Structure 1
Amino acid sequence: MAVPYSPLKRFVVLDLSRVRSGPAAVRQFADWGADIIKIEEPSEVKDDKPGGAAKFSDYQNTHRNKRSLTLNLKDPRGKALFLELVKRADVLVENYRPSVKKKLGIDYESLRAINPRLVYASISGFGQDGPYADRPGLDQIAQGLGGIMSVTGEPGHPMRAGIPIADLSAGLFAAIGVLIALLDREQSGQGRWVQTSLLQAQVWMMDFQATRWLIDGEVPGQSGNDHPTSAPTGVYPTADGHINIAAMGSTMFSRLCEVLGMPEMIKDPRFTEAGLRVDNRADLNREIIARTRTRNSADWIAALNAAGVPCGPILAMDGTFADEQVQHLRMTRQVEHPRKGPISIMAQPVNFSDGELPAPRPAPETGANTAEILAWLGVDAAECERLRGAGVV
C-alpha cells in the first residue's frame, strides 16, 4: 500500500519568483514536501494573483503547497529579516532581471557570503550576462528567438506553441540544476549558483530540429501537422472528426495499408521507401485521407491499435481528463480550499514505488504565514505587529 512520501521535507526553499518559470521550478520541490517560503512585497499588486476565475485557477496550479511571507526588501528591517531566512535556507529561486537583484543586494555573491551552503537558482529571459541579459524576457519572445515558432504551424505563418513551453521547460531545467547542486553539496559542503534562461531552455527543446541544422546544415521549416521527417505521420480526417496516425517505418506502413484496405500502396513505387514517402507526402496523404473519411474515429482507432499501428484521438481538455488512461494515471488531485471548497489540481507526472505525494495544500493568501515564519526567526507577536504597522511585513 502506498504511503505519503515527502523525500524533500528536509529542505527549506525561499521562493522569490513570480509568473511561471520560477514557480514551475519551485513546484517540483513543493509537491515533494519541501518547506517553501514564498516571499512577496507587502503592498505590491502581483500580476499572478487571483483576479477572476482564470487567475484563481492558475494561481492554485502554480503556488500550491507553499507558505506566504510578506517582506519589504527595500526596508533595512525587512532586508535583515530576509538575511536571517537566507542563513536557514537550503535553496533560493528567483527570476529577477540580473541588474535588479544586484541593486537589492540579494545577488548570489552577496548571499553566498552569509550562507556558503545556499543553492541559488536564477531563471532569466536570456541569461545572466551577454548582450541581451537585461532585456525583459517573456515566453513568446523566447519561442520566437529560440526557433520553435519557425517550425510550428502551416508554412508561411509562424505559430507559437499552445503552452508556455519556454517558461515551463526553463523551470524544469532549473529544478534539475538545483537537485544536482544539492547532491554535489553533500560531498563539497558548498552551494552553487544555478543559472538557466527561457532562451537556453527553448533552444535545447528544439532537439532534433536543432540537430538538423547543426549537423546536416538544413534549416527546418514548417510542416503543419505532418511530422517533418517521417510519413505518413500526422492528422487525418475521419467521418466524425480527426485522428493522429504515426506509421513510421516500412513495417508500420504495411500494417496501415492493410487496415485501410489499400494493400496496393505497399508496392506503389512512390511509397516503397521511407524517403520516397516523405518526398511524395502530398500524394500519400491524399490516398490515406480518401479512406479515413469513410469511417468514424473510434472505428479507425480500434482497428489500427489492433494491428499495432500507433494512433489516437485528438481531444480537448475535457476529453483528456475524461480519458480512461489519464484517469488511471491519477493525473489530478483534490485540494480543499478554504473559500472555494474542493478543487482539482494537476498531479505530478512521476510515481515512486510504495510512495505517493503528500496531501496537497491550496496556494496561500498573501502573507498568510507571516506571523508563524517570523516566530520561527525569533520575532515575537508584538514586534511582528510593529513591523506590520510600519509596512515592513
Structure 2
Amino acid sequence: MSASKEQPLAGLRVIDLTRALAGPYATLLLAGLGAEVIKVEDPRHGDLARENSPYVGRDGVVVQKAHDDDVSISHLSRARGKWGVSLNFKKPGALDVFADLIRDADILVENFASGTADRLGIGYAAAKAINPRLIYCSLSGFGQGVDEGAKAMDVIVQALSGAMYASGGPGEPPVRMGIPIADMLAPVFGVIGILSALEQRHRTGEGQQVDVSMLGALTSFVGIENWRAMRLAGLPRRTGLTVHRLSPFGIFKCRDGHIAIVAAHDPLTIGLFKAMRADDMLADARYATRDARVANAILLEERITEWTSELSVAEAVAALEAEGVPVAPVRYPEDALADPRVVAREETMQIVHPRYETDAELRTVGVPIRFSDAQTGFADRLPVAIGEHNDAVYRDLLGYPPERIAALREAGAI
C-alpha cells in the first residue's frame, strides 16, 4: 500500500482513559485507523495491563519482570501508537488538566465501572459542559446506570451471557472461551458507535455519549441462535465438536490431529461421501436430504469419524479438497497468527520492543480492515514508562509552562 495514502481517522484526537483490555482495544483500533490517541494513566500504578505476565526485554521473554524496561506483552500490544501521560484525577489541579485535554478533542473513551467517572468529576455531563462536540464512549460491564460500581471481568460476562453453555457437549461442565471474547466484542461495538456518532456530528455539530455494555455485546452474539426454538424442537443445544442441526458440520479426529468439515448442503455431502468412497451412504435414505441428515446426525458423524480416524490430517484434507468440500486443519493459535495470508495483510503484526530485538515469531493483533484509498497502522511510539510523553503533551501540546508542570508533579497530579 502506498505510504502516501492517508489513514481514515487522521486528524482526530482521542483521550484514552481506559485500562485492562476492553477499553485499550477500542483505542488501539482507533490508533491503527490513524487517530491521535493520548493514553491517560494514574501516575501511581498505570494501566493494569502493565503487570500482565509474560514480559519481554533484554533477556527475551520472561515470566517475572526483572528490569525496569521489561514490558508486559499485553501492554506492548495494547499501547502501540499511543501517547502516554499520567494524571491522578483525585489530586489538586487534575480536573483543570482534564478540561484542557478534552477541550479540543474529538473522542473520549473510558471503561470505568458504571458511575465511577461521574464520581471522579470526569463523566459525560462534565465533559459535555467543556466540549459539546465530544464523542464520549463508555464501555462497562452492564451499561451506564446499571449496577453502578459493579466490576465485570470477561469470565463473569461469559458466565452471565449464556455463552459457556453454548459450547461443549451434553453433560459436560460449562466451557470458558479461550479468548476474552466479551472484552473484545464490546470495544468493537464501541468503535462502531463512535464512528456512527461522528457521522451524526457531521450533520448536527453536536457530540453525544456512546454507551456499550460487555454483557449486552456478548449476549447479542449468543442470541443469533434461537436456543429456545431448538429446545422446543427437541434438537440438542450442546453437541460438542459438531453442530447436529447442520450435520455434517464440525470437528473430526484424525490420526495426528483434527480437521473442520462443512458439508451441510447436498452437493457438499455428496462430495464428502465420494471422498470417503462410501457408495452405500450415497444411496442411504437416512442421508439423502438435509433434514434426514439432521435427524440421523449421530450415526452420520460416527461414520465420518471412522473414516477420518484412519487418516492423517494432510491425507483427509487432500481427499476432501479434491471433491470440493470445505475443510481445514485445526491449528494452534501461534501457527494461525503466522499464516502468510494474515501476515501479508497486517492482520497480525510482530511484537517489537522499543529497545531490544524480539523474537520474530512473537505476533499480536493488527487492524483487520483494508481500504482501497487509505492505510492503517500504528505510529512508532509506546508509553514504556508511566507518563512517558508528559512533556510532549502537557508542554508542547497544551502549552503548560515548566513551573506549572512542576507544580502538578509536586501535587501528585501527574
Q: Distance in 2 between matches of 1:228 and 1:79?
A: 57
Q: Which residue of 1 aligns with 2:152?
A: 137
Q: Which residue of 1 aligns with 2:376?
A: 357
Q: Distance in 2 between matches of 1:142 and 1:331?
A: 26
Candidates 193, 199, 216, aligned match of 2:215 = 199
Give a deviation string over 1:313-358, Cα, whole Å, max 9, x none: 0111232234343344443334653333356432211111254324
SS of aligned partner of 1:149 = helix
Q: Distance in 1 between matches of 2:304 and 2:232?
A: 32
Residue 46 of structure 2 corresponds to residue 25 of structure 1: no
User: What are the within-5 Å matches in structure 2 for residues 181-200 of structure 1?
Assistant: 181-200=197-216
Candidates 151, 156, 161, aligned match of 1:146 = 161
User: Structure 1 pair 134/292, CA: closer, same or farther in 2 (3 Å)?
Assistant: same
Q: Which residue of 1 aligns with 2:323?
A: 307
One-letter code of the match for 2:292?
Answer: L
User: What are the within-5 Å matches in structure 2 for residues 101-250 of structure 1?
Assistant: 101-130=117-146, 132-156=147-171, 157-209=173-225, 211-213=226-228, 221-250=237-266
One-letter code of the match for 1:140?
Answer: V
Report the alpha carbon displacement of residue 205 of structure 1 after superposing the two structures with TM. Answer: 1.2
SS of aligned partner of 2:252 = strand
Q: Which residue of 1 aligns with 2:400?
A: 379
Q: Which residue of 2 aligns with 1:318?
A: 334
Give a deviation string over 1:27-57, Cα, whole Å, max 9, x none: 1111111111111111125421145425711
Give a deviation string over 1:136-169, Cα, whole Å, max 9, x none: 1111111111111111112222111111111100
CA-based RMSD? 2.2
SS of aligned partner of 2:37 = strand
One-letter code of the match for 1:379?
Answer: Y
Q: Is the 8 Å Cα contact of residues 80 and 378 (structure 2) preserved in structure 1?
A: no
User: Structure 1 pair 362/299, CA: closer, same or farther in 2 (3 Å)?
Assistant: farther
User: Structure 1 pair 220/329, CA: closer, same or farther in 2 (3 Å)?
Assistant: farther
One-letter code of the match for 2:410?
Answer: G
Q: Distance in 1 between matches of 2:339 and 2:115?
A: 47
For structure 1, which segment, 281-290 or 250-259, has the greater mean C-alpha deviation from structure 2 after superposition? 281-290
Structure 2 unmatched ranges of 5 or more: 56-70
User: Structure 1 pair 359/99, CA: closer, same or farther in 2 (3 Å)?
Assistant: closer
Q: Distance in 1 between matches of 2:35 and 2:391?
A: 19
Q: Distance in 2 between matches of 1:214 and 1:260?
A: 34
Structure 1 unmatched ranges of 5 or more: none
SS of aligned partner of 1:205 = helix
Residue 357 of structure 2 corresponds to residue 341 of structure 1: yes
User: Structure 1 pair 123/63, CA: closer, same or farther in 2 (3 Å)?
Assistant: same
Q: Distance in 2 between matches of 1:60 and 1:228?
A: 42
Q: Is the 8 Å Cα contact of residues 346 and 368 (structure 2) preserved in structure 1?
A: no
SS of aligned partner of 2:320 = helix
Count of residues in Structure 1 that have an aligned counterpart in Structure 2: 391
Q: Distance in 1 between matches of 2:179 and 2:351?
A: 24
Q: Distance in 1 between matches of 2:305 and 2:297?
A: 12
Report the alpha carbon displacement of residue 189 of structure 1 after superposing the two structures with TM. Answer: 0.2
Q: Distance in 1 between matches of 2:166 and 2:88?
A: 44
Q: Distance in 1 between matches of 2:198 and 2:232?
A: 39
SS of aligned partner of 1:361 = coil
Q: Is the 8 Å Cα contact of residues 8 and 375 (structure 2) preserved in structure 1?
A: no
Candidates 281, 291, 300, aligned match of 1:275 = 291
Q: Distance in 1 between matches of 2:301 and 2:165?
A: 23
Q: Distance in 2 between matches of 1:185 and 1:390?
A: 38
Q: Is the 8 Å Cα contact of residues 6 and 374 (structure 2) preserved in structure 1?
A: yes
SS of aligned partner of 2:245 = coil
Report the alpha carbon displacement of residue 247 of structure 1 after superposing the two structures with TM. Answer: 0.6
Q: Is the 8 Å Cα contact of residues 157 and 214 (structure 2) preserved in structure 1?
A: yes
Give a deviation string over 1:222-277, Cα, whole Å, max 9, x none: 11111252101111122222111111111110110001100221221222221221
Q: Is the 8 Å Cα contact of residues 301 and 311 (structure 1) preserved in structure 2?
A: yes
Report the alpha carbon displacement of residue 185 of structure 1 after superposing the two structures with TM. Answer: 0.3
User: Structure 1 pair 69/228, CA: closer, same or farther in 2 (3 Å)?
Assistant: farther
Q: Which residue of 2 aligns with 1:368?
A: 388
TM-score normalised by length of structure 1: 0.93
For structure 1, which segment, 176-185 or 217-226, has the greater mean C-alpha deviation from structure 2 after superposition? 217-226
